[in-house]
Chains A and B, each alone.
Chain A
């Protein structure tokens, strides 16, 4: 965005105290009307089933006062900050700093991740959280192929996660197949569903595509809930076998890993194994994506995102390009799903709601759409931040929603706002992600 004349004019004309006060007063008045019925009055079914209500004017007053104060603070901050202009080509000093940081952040982060189970061996909570974050990093990288590279907006990504999870759960519980056999099968099945979704949406663009993928995700979830004879319906699938280390179970028994190595058994072994398993899967996703970006198909994805018409004019087969993007993204979702099933030992449709799709999409967009490191950082920030509010319990999702809105307003282009081009002439120059198109599909 170029310099907005209206914004700079506003900044030069510094509004006085009266203006701020008036604005805060209006906000408080709006808040009073908004909250008067929803917060000022509380309804609940009484003992006889009849609805009763009672008033909570103290809460209402507190909320209105908060809005009044908050409005003043926001207005002061806005004046202090001034208008923010964006730069298109990142200036050289910043670019150098970014290059240094970019060279070091990823390896340091990777080494740290490798060491997490060593450092926090006795902290079960941190290990579990690490596994969760890595699962979302993997999902984010998987969706990144579809949204970030090919520019196809997918709001139903969780469907492939569900397909992967249920594939493993059902194959393992019904046929006794091992995790290592099921993992590729789950990926293949998810990719198959990706192609199946891809076909009808080939001709759709933009928001039509978004809504169809959303509907697809809901259909998968509803079928899982209702096809009780196969999936167990809302009760889910229980007793999903734990993964083995290539056939050696991580159990306290005679043939367990601990017994074979001659060390004392500890349940932490399995957690550490799961941690490295998801780390390996996530890194596989990352590596495949990086390699694919250098292949003709990856370049075709990015070209498709930039300009579909030009793509067709240049003879790129958009059908296969879109389908492979869907299939590749879905396959990684399927892998992550299989991992999720084996980690939890229990899955139910509740884990595969639209909320998950939105969360993964938020991670991709916050990560800067297409930036691998950005997605990892965004997943860490979102899931880690989400965990910080665990104590708040019922306010957690509320805070999550507010954070999503605020982050979008603050950084609409994501946390990592620059991008290294895949192909360049003469010299490699990081560009602002404002220049990267988001695709039509």
Chain B
């Protein structure tokens, strides 16, 4: 039981990270209707930016951890958001009204560009950082000597995710931008007729998605203590799996899917085999789609003739 509780905690933390990335996928899909294959790599770039900012701040003699983390968070969100904007501007906007496969291949190309760009710019080796947030709480001491622990970093990851989600939900539900986004999702032509700047709204969608991915990248860096140029690929596929699992286009679905994938992965590695954890996640995806082709919270697609 204790072991299960511990895995549950780990799974939820991992799921939060996946959920943050999945929101970027699901938002873009909802509005533009394309899989942003480069999104996982935007997450990786976010991790790198966070790492570099952190190193610079530390070398400048800054020692107050909360201040450092806040600056790192803001810088990596801002710069990564600009990456998201640039990717959309260069690779997707010219193909907005093209046929469906063109932006998808362009996105795959962009993903290769980002992966190899960071490999060339920062080297192929894994970048480790010492644990930045240490300590934690012991929740329960079991009879067999097994201890259920909740580390501070896990608390930070979960709290950051919850705060961002609240902020993001408010943004979509209550602000002008959120309304524009929802309008574009329903009907771009009609939204444009009613005075919504569609291009700008789509750009902002990419910017917000990239900023959330940057937070996920930073959390990944803090939680695992390393980044490398290839981490975006697998994380990206899993986050996309999460978005599809939750029902693509649905924001609560993306978070739910993220948590589900995180839990499946953690519990599978805990009880079955670590090697096959990704196989388990992907198999669950296939099984869910067979029985629920629109995901957990997705709207069924109406087929028009």
Indicate whether A and B interact: yes
The B253-305 residues at the A interface (CB cut-off 8 A) are: 273, 275-276, 278-279, 282-283, 285-287, 289-290, 293, 301, 303, 305
Known: A309-B303, A365-B102, A397-B116. A403 touches B282 (CB 8 A): no
Do B129 and A51 touch across chains, with their CB atoms under 8 A apart? yes
Stretch from A102-110, A165-173, A215-223, A344-352 forming part of the interface with B: A215-223
Do B125 and A33 touch across chains, with their CB atoms under 8 A apart? no
Do B95 and A438 touch across chains, with their CB atoms under 8 A apart? no
Give which listed residue, A218, A354, A395, A413, contacts B278 with CB less than 8 A.
A218
* Interface residue SS majority, chain A: helix
Give the docked Cα–Cα distance between A34 and B233 (Å).
21
Give the docked Cα–Cα distance between A41 and B48 (Å).
11
Give the docked Cα–Cα distance between A138 and B301 (Å).
36
Do A365 and B101 touch across chains, with their CB atoms under 8 A apart? yes
* Residues of chain B within 8 A of A394, CB atoms compared: 116, 119-120
Which of chain A's residues has its CB closest to B301's CB?
A205
Give which listed residue, B75, B79, B241, contacts A215 with CB less than 8 A.
B241
The yes or no answer to B105 lying at the interface (CB within 8 A) is yes
Give which listed residue, B34, B109, B275, contacts A403 with CB less than 8 A.
B109
Give which listed residue, A1, A38, A212, A215, contacts B118 with CB less than 8 A.
A38
Do A404 and B279 touch across chains, with their CB atoms under 8 A apart? no
Do B112 and A214 touch across chains, with their CB atoms under 8 A apart? no
Do B119 and A203 touch across chains, with their CB atoms under 8 A apart? no
Give which listed residue, A38, A53, A398, contacts B116 with CB less than 8 A.
A398
Which of chain A's residues has its CB closest to B285's CB?
A215
Do A402 and B305 touch across chains, with their CB atoms under 8 A apart? no
The yes or no answer to A381 lying at the interface (CB within 8 A) is no
Most A-side CB within 10 Å, residue of B34, B120, B273, B279: B279
Do B286 and A37 touch across chains, with their CB atoms under 8 A apart? no
Stretch from A42-50, A111-119, A255-263, A416-424 forming part of the interface with B: A42-50
* Residues of chain A within 8 A of B95, CB atoms compared: 408-409, 412
* Residues of chain A within 8 A of B241, CB atoms compared: 211, 215
The B6-56 residues at the A interface (CB cut-off 8 A) are: 29, 34-35, 45, 48-49, 51-53, 55-56
* Interface residue SS majority, chain B: helix
Give the docked Cα–Cα distance between A37 and B52 (Å).
7
Give which listed residue, A43, A214, A401, A412, contacts B237 with CB less than 8 A.
A214
Q: Chain A's nearest CB lies how many Å from the CB of B90?
A: 7
Give which listed residue, A53, A216, A403, contacts B59 with CB less than 8 A.
A53
The yes or no answer to A200 lying at the interface (CB within 8 A) is yes
* Residues of chain B within 8 A of A355, CB atoms compared: 112
Do B90 and A405 touch across chains, with their CB atoms under 8 A apart? yes
The yes or no answer to A287 lying at the interface (CB within 8 A) is no
Which of chain A's residues has its CB closest to B303's CB?
A309
Give the docked Cα–Cα distance between A200 and B282 (Å).
13
* Residues of chain B within 8 A of A38, CB atoms compared: 45, 48-49, 52, 117-118, 121-122
Q: Chain A's nearest CB lies how many Å from the CB of B132?
A: 12
* Residues of chain B within 8 A of A206, CB atoms compared: 100
The yes or no answer to A387 lying at the interface (CB within 8 A) is no
The yes or no answer to B250 lying at the interface (CB within 8 A) is no
The yes or no answer to B111 lying at the interface (CB within 8 A) is yes
Q: Chain A's nearest CB lies how many Å from the CB of B243?
A: 9
The yes or no answer to B128 lying at the interface (CB within 8 A) is yes
Q: Chain A's nearest CB lies how many Å from the CB of B24?
A: 15
Known: A38-B52, A401-B111. A215 touches B83 (CB 8 A): no
The yes or no answer to B244 lying at the interface (CB within 8 A) is yes
Which of chain B's residues has its CB closest to A37's CB?
B52
Can you list, as one digit per residue, whether each of A202-236 has a CB less than 8 Å from chain B (1) or not (0)? Answer: 01111110111011101100110110000000000
Can you list, as one digit per residue, whether each of A354-367 has a CB less than 8 Å from chain B (1) or not (0)? Answer: 11001001100100
Known: A30-B86, A208-B289. A409 touches B101 (CB 8 A): no
Give the docked Cα–Cα distance between A208 and B35 (Å).
10
The yes or no answer to A153 lying at the interface (CB within 8 A) is yes
The A5-59 residues at the B interface (CB cut-off 8 A) are: 30, 33-34, 36-39, 41-45, 49-53
The yes or no answer to B160 lying at the interface (CB within 8 A) is no
* Residues of chain B within 8 A of A45, CB atoms compared: 125, 127-128
Do A34 and B82 touch across chains, with their CB atoms under 8 A apart? yes
Give the docked Cα–Cα distance between A45 and B90 (Å).
33
Give which listed residue, B29, B244, B279, B289, contacts A219 with CB less than 8 A.
B279
Q: Chain A's nearest CB lies how many Å from the CB of B236?
A: 10
* Residues of chain A within 8 A of B75, CB atoms compared: 37
Known: A53-B52, A215-B241, A401-B112. A210 touches B86 (CB 8 A): no
Which of chain A's residues has its CB closest to B102's CB?
A412
Give which listed residue, A37, A309, A401, A405, contacts B53 with CB less than 8 A.
A37
Do B278 and A222 touch across chains, with their CB atoms under 8 A apart? yes
* Residues of chain A within 8 A of B301, CB atoms compared: 205
* Residues of chain B within 8 A of A211, CB atoms compared: 35, 240-241, 244, 285
Q: Which 8 A-B pairs have the closest CB atoms?
A: A404-B109, A401-B112, A401-B113, A412-B102, A215-B282, A398-B116, A405-B109, A408-B106
Other A-B contacts than A215-B282, A402-B109, A404-B109, 10 sampled, CB-CB below 8 A, are A34-B79, A44-B125, A53-B52, A203-B290, A212-B285, A212-B286, A218-B282, A361-B108, A438-B99, A438-B101
Residues on A facing B (Cβ under 8 Å): 1, 30, 33-34, 36-39, 41-45, 49-53, 153, 200-201, 203-208, 210-212, 214-216, 218-219, 222-223, 225-226, 309-310, 354-355, 358, 361-362, 365, 369, 394-395, 397-398, 400-405, 408-409, 412-413, 434, 438
Residues on B facing A (Cβ under 8 Å): 29, 34-35, 45, 48-49, 51-53, 55-56, 59, 75, 79, 82-83, 86, 90-91, 94-95, 97-106, 108-123, 125, 127-130, 233, 237, 240-241, 244, 248, 273, 275-276, 278-279, 282-283, 285-287, 289-290, 293, 301, 303, 305
